[in-house]
Structure 1
Amino acid sequence: MRQIFPAAPDDDVDVRALYASDERARPDRPWVTMNMISSVDGGISIDGVSGGLGGPGDKAVFSALRGMADVILVASGTVIAENYRKPQTPESLQTVRAASGQDPIPRIAIVSNSLSIAPDHRVFDSDHRPLMITHRGADAERRQALAEVADLVDAGDDAVDLRSALDALYALGARTVLCEGGPSLNGALVAEDLVDEVCLSFSPILLGGDGPRITRGPELPGALTLSLQRVLQDENFLFFRYVRR
């Protein structure tokens, strides 16, 4: 892995240290980083999952971003499609996180209006309970079932309000939130101008078709501009880091 922008003399960068050194701070809510992978022609999945697009470099960036996050924010549909589980954080990194005041393992926060995810899904680990971000009008029986395996956070009356959700995470101590999708959740965050950073892995693949992009939702009334901070290269993969201007 080498850094090609800004130009750097080292052809073998420490990916984890590099992403950990980036400044991420807001005074009012958690800093939100969106991390996604895309093919050259904009596709984000093969047979419904993103894994086929990645490679060793993408896994390194994915791990580094998870390593800096207080909370991993993800839609319930993505949890099901990608078969999420508890974050696999190396013990050495757990020690570093604990020493800096973070929880040893980032906490998963699952966003769901319907609470349709099964309580026996493997993401629900008794030693590391996820958060379930939902709304006060969600089905009472499903709320009760999921409250056995997760901590429910109400953000909104009839649908999840993402600004309220971030406020709740901030009140719980989260200062950095890593959003891993899917496209509808990404699009909703972008529509509210709640994304501070975009990390985009570019896979050297053409997929064709008319599949989803990294965001889904109504067209914005005005484009949101980003500032390019860094580009890494690993063989034919590129890794971009942008921040909101």
Structure 2
Amino acid sequence: MRRLLPYAPDVTDLTSAEDTPWTLEALADAYAYPAAAVDAGVPWLRGNMVSSLDGAARLDGLSDGLSSPADKRIFGVLRALADVVLVGAQTVRAEGYRPAMARAEFAAERAARGQGPAPVIAVVSGALDLDFDLPLFTAPLVRTVVLTAETAPADGLAAARRVADVVIAGEAHVDPVRAVAALVERGWTRLLTEGGPRLLGQLAEAGALDELCLTLAPLLAAGGAPRIAYGAQAVAERMDLVGLLEEKGFLFARYARSVKIAQ
């Protein structure tokens, strides 16, 4: 893996050969939450998505078809840095989401930051059309949170409350701004969303996304897969490129909103 931006010729392990994997520590340094935001107690919501060259968010229905070993390492590091992972119900169903795991390599750092052993998974679902017998709900290391709306079905609410912490974050639909605010109220300021595209689009429309960690796979996908973010409204918010890595043709970019604190 090679670091292309920001250029650091004096740091050997950050400019290693393309076929040399980075250490987890080096990746954690490269993807650390902005120090200025952390020091000021400012919430920071980053998204982590993968895309084909032509913008597809999935291959054969799943994002895994666009991934790579380096992408999976970064995926794990981003989770290890986060307080909470925000994810849409459709992605939970399609990707077979499981509880976040504790990583021994990050245990000391998480404890020093006052974090639990693993990030909380927070699922956005207005209709509560979820399988509450999945390990995500029955066997998490830390209790899963479900963000739903006031109009959620009563039987779904009852089932969710048996296995998760339920938060009402909207009336007819889940309001992404209220959902993020509810997580911040619990003291979770290092936020991560893994989508899917509909949730990422809603967060972008609401102006709630501070950073995008984007893996660009060297693949053409074509077909009818959605973009990594889509919704009812178009947005045109400028983001600044603050980091870029490369391995075996895959690009790993960090973009941050220029109007907010960035490293």
Interval containing the TM-score (normalised by the shorter chain):
over 0.9
Distance 1:89 1:127, change over 3 A: closer
Farther off after superposition, 4-13 or 227-236: 4-13
1:112 corresponds, among 88, 100, 125, to 125
1:86 corresponds, among 99, 108, 111, to 99
Distance 1:224 1:182, change over 3 A: same
**Greater per-residue helix proportion:** 2
Residue 167 in structure 1 maps to residue 177 in structure 2: no
2:205 corresponds, among 191, 209, 217, to 191
Which letter does structure 1 place at the counterpart of 2:71? D
Match of 1:150 in 2: 164
Which letter does structure 2 place at the counterpart of 1:88? M
Number of aligned residue pairs: give it.
244
Instruction: Give the match's secondary structure for 2:32.
Output: helix
Matches within 5 A, 1:5-154: 5-9=5-9, 10=12, 11-12=15-16, 13=22, 14-20=26-32, 22-23=34-35, 25=37, 30-124=43-137, 125-154=139-168
* Structure 2 CA distance for aligned equivalents of residues 126 and 81 of structure 1: 19
1:227 is displaced (CA, Å) by 0.5
1:36 is displaced (CA, Å) by 0.2
Instruction: Give the match's secondary structure for 1:147.
Output: helix
1:218 is displaced (CA, Å) by 2.4
1:114 is displaced (CA, Å) by 0.3
Deviations along 1:69-103, one digit per CA (max 9) or x if unpaired, are 11000001101111011112312312320122111
Deviations along 1:3-40, one digit per CA (max 9) or x if unpaired, are 01122223235212221264362768631101100011
Q: Which TM-score applies when normalising by structure 2?
A: 0.88
1:158 is displaced (CA, Å) by 1.8
Residue 226 in structure 1 maps to residue 239 in structure 2: yes
1:162 is displaced (CA, Å) by 1.3
Maintained 8 Å contact 1:24/1:31? no
* Structure 1 CA distance for aligned equivalents of residues 81 and 46 of structure 2: 10
* Structure 2 CA distance for aligned equivalents of residues 126 and 18 of structure 1: 28
Which letter does structure 2 place at the counterpart of 1:119? F
* Structure 2 CA distance for aligned equivalents of residues 181 and 17 of structure 1: 23
Maintained 8 Å contact 2:80/2:103? no
Instruction: Give the match's secondary structure for 1:108.
Output: strand
* Structure 2 CA distance for aligned equivalents of residues 32 and 22 of structure 1: 11
Instruction: Give the match's secondary structure for 2:50.
Output: strand
Distance 1:209 1:127, change over 3 A: closer
Maintained 8 Å contact 1:29/1:167? no
Which letter does structure 2 place at the counterpart of 1:130? T
Which letter does structure 1 place at the counterpart of 2:31? Y
Instruction: Give the match's secondary structure for 1:123.
Output: helix
Taking only the aligned residue pairs, the percentage that are identical comes to 40
Maintained 8 Å contact 1:32/1:196? yes
Report the RMSD for the aligned CA atoms in angstroms. Answer: 1.7
Contiguous gaps of at least 5 residues in structure 1: none
1:217 corresponds, among 231, 236, 243, to 231
1:181 corresponds, among 195, 199, 206, to 195
Maintained 8 Å contact 1:199/1:240? yes
